A and B are shown apart, each in its own frame.
Chain A
């Protein structure tokens, strides 16, 4: 067998079904063998960044590692943003990149880049293979590392001569030997009991849930724990979907663009338990002012290095969220209803005082109206993939599922252009699911070339373009925090998106008023394959609430009363 064949055979042995990739000089041997492996479905992308985001969406929607192929030099470098996106959000990917022959590595050969060096800060681990005999072991290790513990991307750079070398009887390793890698932590039972006891005794407890709950499949355990302990529960942006937002105990989204009642509850809580999350700056806003009344801060995360990275916990539980929540559950003593009532009543009052508000009577199409109608049609079932910017926060805040669901977005890296290729990947992974892609026009054009992929494979992704002809979030920040100087945010010179869609071979619709939302979405849902709807939204619509940069969560600002 050639090294190239061994690569493909190893992928089959790992259960890989789909590869998102792009051929080039340094991975030609692999592409030569690919047709002999019909069980591996290859999706030819239009740009390698698209491949990485598709693999990312595929992984988030399926729970399996996404696989990317790219050639050396520019091909591999084009995946870097996608790897960084997956790394920040703990998504399992395996990227296999071609590298120039080992005999010329380090000599600035054609299309040579130090891809291992470049990807080191944005991968969980990476490898350079110069010897065909390393291929089976490295691929097995890569999938193990990508998918266990805190998941993440792994890159394997395979020299072209290793792909071409012959190894007639490859040896497939049975066991993995990584003495420096112990992903499975058995949680400390006494810590779990202490945490459960503290939660049972708290007067004003709050749980915040992050991506780790979804990655571990711990949604049911989270609901059970919240209900048994009568604890109001919110999520991070990446945790959306982990807890039903229509649940009576839901605090919805936290963070500097979170809901007012969530932020009030976090700031007033006497016990705060964060599960499967990093406690980053977008969650805390000004760290010194975050959760000032929390006498007990419990941090549950699979990654030991998150403990005390930003805020030192009183109790730490190093374990995956599902295991930790499941093991805490029996130790929870339900509070007397009388004892919990003041706190829940207080939160209800905050919910009434600080509802999500927007103006929808100024004659312009409001993005929130579009989101509300889209979510009505999701019926607690669809996968929604959002891009980055105002569209992301609108999609997050108006997510309304009554049960756990999948809301996918680039929360950590904030990668514009993520949503559409990720939605393609999600649809490939879960063809039975409706998939909606919410994006602004700025981010959408960053990866719009992947429309060809959706058309070629007739992937039923419904694109909701929230088009305000500007970089809306940046414009809002300039208006609110940078003296109102609108600098380089105007995007009126955009293509006609309906024509753009048609040029790629999918139908498009233009919507300029609220009464056209429903019919356009009817059309999208009734039309097989991808559909794009260009919603011309209010160019001045903003995201609220928002905490001004540098301030604490208590300083959140809401929609001004005189806003029109």
Chain B
């Protein structure tokens, strides 16, 4: 079964950016994305191993030409230290979803079986609902969510995508002071 969501997850392009952790940097990045009309599917932000540096992961549902523009326009931002299109490079990507499922006596055991089959974990449960953790590659999470839609999903929280390249290069997230990325401004 391939729903539009799964199909989209399969063709998402993945960009990762290391940015300076200044006030307003998220506003700069999100403002650029909105202003240029880019079609961003997901954006997540978190600290790196280096104080003052954050990593952003962006997933873009678009062709190569638009992704090229996203990358170049973000590179122009002075607080963006490095940006890389990971789509074609060896990488690990993950997303986390927390799903609140309504269950009753009739559906409960079927739901538990299905969650188990999907590799999900039940984090909390009572008679009427289950809270389930799904994590894995974007497509896996989409496929699992699709399968759980046959039950009643009451609420859903997703972390957004995170990704890291398998390269052994020490990027700016690990080595402060290294110059990388940059742009014509």
Q: Which B residues are CB-close (under 8 A) to A120?
A: 24, 27-28, 31
A47 an interface residue at 8 Å Cβ cutoff? no
Give the shortest distance, in Å, between A490 (CB) and chain B (any CB): 35
List 9 extra interface pairs beyond A148-B185, A179-B177, A309-B72, CB under 8 A: A149-B184, A179-B81, A179-B182, A182-B182, A182-B183, A183-B185, A302-B184, A303-B76, A308-B69
A-B contact pairs, 12 of them (CB 8 A): A116-B24, A117-B27, A120-B27, A121-B35, A125-B78, A150-B185, A178-B78, A182-B182, A185-B184, A304-B184, A305-B184, A318-B184
What 9 pairs across the A-B complex have the smallest Cβ distances? A182-B182, A305-B72, A149-B185, A303-B184, A180-B81, A181-B78, A149-B184, A125-B78, A150-B184
Please provide the chain B residues from 82 to 104 with a CB less than 8 Å away from any CB of chain A in the complex.
Answer: 82
The 0/1 profile, CB within 8 Å of A marked 1, for residues 168-183 of chain B is 0000100001111111
Q: Which A residues are CB-close (under 8 A) to B68?
A: 308
Binding site for B on A (CB under 8 A): 116-117, 120-121, 124-125, 128, 145, 148-150, 152, 178-183, 185, 302-305, 307-309, 312, 318
B80 an interface residue at 8 Å Cβ cutoff? yes
- State the CA gap A182–B80 with chains docked (Å): 11
Q: Which B residues are CB-close (under 8 A) to A309?
A: 69, 72
- State the CA gap A183–B179 with chains docked (Å): 12
The 0/1 profile, CB within 8 Å of A marked 1, for residues 1-37 of chain B is 0000000000000000001100110011001000100
Q: Which B residues are CB-close (under 8 A) to A117?
A: 24, 27
Q: Which A residues are CB-close (under 8 A) to B133?
A: none
A interface, by DSSP: helix, strand, loop or mixed?
A: loop
- State the CA gap A456–B97 with chains docked (Å): 67
Given A120-B31, A185-B184, A179 and B69 contact (CB-CB distance below 8 Å): no
- State the CA gap A318–B73 with chains docked (Å): 15
Contact between B179 and A307, CB atoms less than 8 A apart: no
The 0/1 profile, CB within 8 Å of A marked 1, for residues 32-63 of chain B is 00010000000000000000000000000000
Contact between B185 and A303, CB atoms less than 8 A apart: yes
Contact between A180 and B69, CB atoms less than 8 A apart: no
Quick one: which of A117, A125, A179 has the most chain B CB within 10 A? Answer: A179
Given A117-B27, A124-B185, A145-B185, A304 and B75 contact (CB-CB distance below 8 Å): yes
Q: Which A residues are CB-close (under 8 A) to B112?
A: none
Contact between B172 and A305, CB atoms less than 8 A apart: no
Give the shortest distance, in Å, between B25 (CB) and chain A (any CB): 10
Contact between A180 and B27, CB atoms less than 8 A apart: no
- State the CA gap A116–B172 with chains docked (Å): 27
Quick one: which of A128, A152, A180, A304 has the most chain B CB within 10 A? Answer: A180
Q: Which A residues are CB-close (under 8 A) to B180?
A: 179
